[in-house]
């Protein structure tokens, strides 16, 4: 292996993903040290491939359209200014055959920063760049050293070029889209509507005055105003008269547990979606609304998935708030109880690298035992853990069997004795844990992905169904 630590990481990533290039005939390697990477590939028994190592973008002009059927970009993008990315990706798209793969490798922003480095990356930054260029992201991961980002792309347009006639205005905290990829809420909504081809206007409620927001909505004149999060309620109240007379359908998605204010939203909000069936009667009463439906968190599998390059390190992992407030008191007591019996790793404020932490945990603890009697309520932690392919254990809550099967997709416990027995059983069996992990990720992708969730809501709005598509068969 080379003395250059960064090049060693690049070699390791390529080795772990060498199956991507088994059926490749003509491979382009774009980046500094590309000749060394070529020689390393030859050592991986990829000897029958025509490999073109290029250290400058200008050299691509010598190749005709659709010449390559595979591209590796490594040790390159970080040395180019952001203003050049459109040209870089346009050239890569031109010389690569449609639907073929690109392995993109860039340093995570806390590592390998040199004076020559023009751009620093984290998952949010590189995802935003790739979305702007309309590339299809298959997956994005940190590598096993946590120093490099590896992204697999397809040479196809992720979103349709032509837009539907239906206009949708998204109003919420959308500046969090790329800084909080873990939550999926903001990114998943935008990603779904773009993928489905809607004509979009995205407004962030924290960036503008209510007057500016209302003027922008009037000018855009959307068919649907899609609002999300609790912060938008005050905007609706302040502009109640306008929305009562407007022909725009107002859709409100709220995914937290809070006692609602009493306000007559009839004629203002046309459809409301919340994250528990248990609260539907309460919101119907307090908001004077009829059309309220169960709709929990969505997931973005290209961002949130198991990371096969990370090995298990901790017995139990937990992310989230631990305190003695109303909704966290019993959870905190359970976590402290677990710490008496097992190795428990607790972290907070993981905004973009949740899959890597979860992949280091043999079992992930979650749940909201303080709210277990609230039918079908779970925080988004349940759906994120499933998507990340975790062996996830939670308290049983009313209706959980509609979402998952115990000891197939996840683990649920009824009491402390049951909790300890299940954890001990699955800590002692890699095979049983791995089966749960695989089933969990498959369930998340099939029942809770961002496209399905938004389609489900649109189908309800269009009166094609009143059912939730995420229940297990």
Asked whether residue 432 is domain-assigned, the answer is: yes
Q: What is the dihedral of CA 13, 19, 22, 25, to 10 degrees?
A: -50
pLDDT at 196 over 90: yes
**Which of 268, 298, 328 is where one domain is finished?**
298
CATH number at residue 332: 3.40.50.2000
Strand order in the sheet with 314-319: 344-347, 314-319, 361-365, 392-395, 411-413
Residues 15 and 147 occupy one common structural domain: yes
CATH number at residue 79: 3.40.50.150
| Local confidence band at 2 (pLDDT 50, 70, 90 cut-offs) | low
Q: What is the dihedral of CA 14, 18, 21, 23, to 10 degrees?
A: 170
Residues 102 and 48 occupy one common structural domain: yes
Asked whether residue 469 is domain-assigned, the answer is: no
Asked whether residue 85 is domain-assigned, the answer is: yes
Residues 213 and 238 occupy one common structural domain: yes
Cβ pair 20, 46 in contact under 8 A: no
Asked whether residue 472 is domain-assigned, the answer is: no
Cβ pair 291, 435 in contact under 8 A: no
CA neighbor of 202 nearest in space, from 234, 238, 178, 226: 226
d(CA 295, CA 456): 9
CA 366 from centroid of its chain's CA atoms: 18
Cβ pair 29, 3 in contact under 8 A: no
List, for residues 79-91, the tens digit of each pLDDT value: 998 899 999 999 9
Please state the φ and ψ torsions of residue 147, each to the nearest 5 degrees.
-105, -15
Cβ pair 170, 190 in contact under 8 A: yes
CA 164 from centroid of its chain's CA atoms: 25
Please state the φ and ψ torsions of residue 292, each to the nearest 5 degrees.
-125, 130
pLDDT at 78 over 70: yes
| Cβ within 8 Å of residue 378, ≥6 positions away | 275, 296, 367, 368, 394, 397, 400, 403
pLDDT at 374: 84
| Local confidence band at 323 (pLDDT 50, 70, 90 cut-offs) | confident
For residues 147-158, average pLDDT? 96
| Cβ within 8 Å of residue 418, ≥6 positions away | none
| Cβ within 8 Å of residue 53, ≥6 positions away | 29, 34, 35, 37, 38
Residues 118 and 182 occupy one common structural domain: no
For residues 409-427, average pLDDT? 97
Encoded tokens for 205: 């409620």
pLDDT at 1 over 50: no
pLDDT at 42: 84
For residues 451-459, average pLDDT? 98
List, for residues 199-219, the tens digit of each pLDDT value: 999 999 999 999 999 999 999
Query: Any idea which residue has 């919101």 for tokens?
Result: 283
Residues 193 and 141 occupy one common structural domain: no
pLDDT at 372 over 80: no
CATH number at residue 203: 3.40.50.11930
Please state the φ and ψ torsions of residue 42, each to the nearest 5 degrees.
-60, -35
Cα end-to-end span (Å), the chain: 50
For residues 432-451, average pLDDT? 98
Ramachandran region of residue 184, left (φ > 0), alpha (ψ -120 to 50) or beta? left
List, for residues 343-365, the tens digit of each pLDDT value: 999 998 788 899 999 999 999 99
Residues 29 and 117 occupy one common structural domain: yes
Which DSSP category does 111 fall into? S
Q: Greater confidence, 55 or 2?
A: 55
Residues 127 and 178 occupy one common structural domain: no
| Residue 5 DSSP SS3 | helix
How many domains would you assign to the chain? 3
State the Rg of the chain over Cα.
24
Could you give the angle at which helices 185-195 and 450-461 cross, rounded to 10 degrees? 70
List, for residues 280-302, the tens digit of each pLDDT value: 999 999 999 999 999 999 999 99
**Which of 157, 178, 209 is where one domain is finished?**
157
pLDDT at 3: 61
For residues 268-274, average pLDDT? 97
For residues 328-334, average pLDDT? 88
Residues 10 and 152 occupy one common structural domain: yes
Residues 173 and 135 occupy one common structural domain: no
d(CA 187, CA 181): 7
Encoded tokens for 119: 């751009």
Residues 126 and 33 occupy one common structural domain: yes
For residues 361-384, average pLDDT? 88
Q: What percent of the chain is modeled with pLDDT above 90?
A: 83
Encoded tokens for 349: 């404020």
Residues 183 and 152 occupy one common structural domain: no
d(CA 376, CA 128): 33
Cβ pair 178, 212 in contact under 8 A: no
d(CA 86, CA 76): 14
Asked whether residue 320 is domain-assigned, the answer is: yes
For residues 302-307, average pLDDT? 96
Asked whether residue 279 is domain-assigned, the answer is: yes
pLDDT at 231 over 90: no
pTM of this structure: 0.94
**Which of 157, 186, 206 is where one domain is finished?**
157
pLDDT at 102 over 90: yes
Average pLDDT, the chain: 94
CA neighbor of 457 nearest in space, from 468, 448, 446: 468
d(CA 246, CA 218): 9
Asked whether residue 41 is domain-assigned, the answer is: yes
pLDDT at 45 over 90: no
Cβ pair 37, 31 in contact under 8 A: yes
Which DSSP category does 80 fall into? S
Which DSSP category does 25 fall into? S
Residues 142 and 190 occupy one common structural domain: no
Which DSSP category does 289 fall into? -
Q: What percent of the chain is modeled with pLDDT above 70?
A: 99
Residue 30 pairs in a beta bridge with 54, 73
Could you list the residue range(s) of the whole structural domain that residue 59 is in?
Answer: 5-157
Asked whether residue 464 is domain-assigned, the answer is: no
């Amino acid at each position: 292996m080379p003395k250059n630590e960064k090049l060693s990481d690049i070699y390791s990533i390529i080795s772990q993903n060498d199956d991507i290039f088994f059926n490749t005939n003509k491979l382009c390697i774009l980046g500094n040290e590309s000749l060394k990477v070529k020689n390393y590939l030859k050592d991986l028994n990829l000897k029958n491939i025509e490999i073109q190592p290029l250290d400058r973008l200008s050299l691509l002009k010598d190749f005709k359209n659709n010449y390559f059927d595979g591209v590796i970009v490594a040790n390159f993008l970080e040395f180019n200014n952001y203003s050049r990315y459109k040209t870089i990706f346009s050239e890569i798209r031109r010389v690569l055959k449609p639907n073929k793969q690109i392995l993109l490798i860039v340093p995570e922003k806390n590592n390998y920063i040199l004076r020559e480095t023009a751009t620093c990356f984290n998952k949010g930054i590189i995802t935003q760049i790739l979305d702007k260029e309309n590339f299809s992201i298959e997956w994005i991961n940190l590598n096993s050293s946590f120093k490099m980002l590896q992204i697999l792309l397809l040479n196809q347009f992720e979103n349709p070029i032509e837009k539907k006639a239906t206009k949708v205005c998204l109003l919420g905290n959308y500046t969090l889209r790329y800084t909080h990829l873990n939550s999926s809420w903001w990114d998943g909504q935008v990603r779904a509507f773009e993928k489905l081809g809607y004509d979009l206007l995205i407004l962030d409620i924290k960036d503008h005055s209510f007057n500016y927001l209302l003027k922008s909505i009037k000018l855009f004149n959307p068919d649907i105003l899609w609002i999300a999060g609790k912060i938008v309620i005050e905007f609706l109240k302040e502009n109640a008269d306008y929305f009562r007379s407007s022909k725009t359908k107002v859709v409100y998605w709220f995914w937290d547990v809070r006692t609602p204010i009493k306000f007559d939203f009839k004629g203002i909000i046309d459809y409301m979606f919340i994250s528990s069936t248990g609260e539907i009667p309460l919101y119907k009463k307090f908001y004077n609304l009829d059309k309220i439906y169960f709709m929990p968190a969505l997931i973005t599998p290209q961002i949130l998935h198991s990371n096969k390059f990370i090995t298990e390190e901790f017995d139990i992992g937990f992310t989230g708030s631990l305190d003695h407030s109303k909704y966290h008191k019993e959870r905190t007591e359970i976590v402290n109880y677990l710490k008496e019996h097992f190795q428990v790793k607790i972290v907070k404020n993981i905004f973009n690298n949740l899959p890597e932490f979860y992949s280091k945990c043999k079992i992930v603890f979650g749940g909201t035992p303080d709210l277990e009697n609230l039918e079908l309520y779970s925080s988004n932690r349940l759906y994120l853990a499933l998507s990340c392919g975790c062996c996830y254990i939670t308290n049983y809550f009313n209706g959980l069997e509609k979402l998952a099967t115990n000891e197939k997709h996840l683990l649920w416990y009824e009491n402390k004795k049951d909790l300890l027995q299940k954890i001990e059983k699955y800590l002692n069996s890699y095979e049983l844990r791995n089966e749960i992990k695989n089933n969990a990720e498959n369930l998340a992708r099939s029942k809770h992905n961002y496209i399905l969730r938004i389609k489900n809501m649109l189908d309800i709005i269009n009166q094609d169904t009143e059912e939730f598509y995420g229940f297990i068969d």
